[in-house]
Amino acid sequence: MDHEAAIEYITTEELSARIKYDPRTIRSQLKDSVLIEGIHYIRPFGQRKILFIWQTIERDMVKHSVALRPVTPREQMRVIANG
């Protein structure tokens, strides 16, 4: 991650609004399975509160989404047409 860019820390509720997952799902299913402490979130000053690192989550969501599905011929044509 580029440390010159401002790191955007967001709460569970803010992350929920951005990725359209319920906060409970984020806490019980995503945290520590796909969202890893020290990479996708931190606990400031060793406390209970969790702050998510938006840029890292956004990057990994896109990377894994694209990597898991094949590109359709229609998408290939769109890329070619848009140069």
Tell me the domain boundaries of the chain: 9-82
Look up the pTM and report it. Answer: 0.72
Give the CA distances from residue 39 to residues 13, 56, 58, in Å, rounded to whole numbers and listed in that order.
19, 7, 12
Q: Are 48 and 12 in contact (CB under 8 A)?
A: no
Pick the CATH number of 9-82 from 2.60.40, 1.10.1660, 3.30.70, 1.10.3470: 1.10.1660
pLDDT in tens, 14-71: 999 999 999 999 999 999 999 999 999 999 999 999 999 999 999 999 887 765 556 6
Digit-coded pLDDT (tens) for 11-21: 999 999 999 99
